[in-house]
Amino acid sequence: MDGLKATFSIENYLGGIYYLTPDEIIFENNMYIIQESKNTSKASLPKLPDIQEGLFKLILFSNLDSLILNGQQVLFATKLKLTGKNVVGSIVFPDASLKELEYFLEVNIKNFNSTQKVIIKKLALEAQNNHKLKIEVSSNF
């Protein structure tokens, strides 16, 4: 499901206002999902700087005290969606177990090199340590 574009104005306690635009806003199960999407059609995983940039924005969004839409506070979550070429299946952290992670890497043994496998394991750890952040790795098809 494709989401809509939106602009956020983030205000801090000192009165600073910052404007950010996530890739997508998806409304699902009475919750707004603020999603950054990083895609590649040439590799199995987007490049590390792209992943880092997506994580940076979502860490900011995930630490918001509240999200107000049309004067009403709404529930929200954040998600980094990474898609790549030839990826078999998908995995979502922190929901996936260690066994599911091992299986995902095994069925994609020819798709992810050793560096990419390390990145995926570190993404699982990032999502585990930041409970407001979900990370999905899947195929771009």
Q: What angle do CA 59, 61, 62 make, to 5 degrees?
A: 65
Whether 128 shows a pLDDT value over 90: the answer reads yes
Quick count: other Cβ atoms within 10 Å of Cβ 75? 11
Sign of CA dihedral 119, 77, 59, 19: positive
Q: pLDDT by residue (tens digit) across 55-74?
A: 999 988 888 888 888 889 99
pLDDT, average across residues 92-113: 97
Q: Are 83 and 39 in contact (CB under 8 A)?
A: yes
Q: pLDDT by residue (tens digit) across 5-60?
A: 777 788 888 989 888 888 999 999 999 999 999 999 999 999 999 999 999 999 88
More confident residue, 134 or 12: 134
State the greatest distance between any 2 C-alpha atoms of the chain, in Å, as a whole number: 51
> How do the domains of the chain map onto residue ranges?
8-139
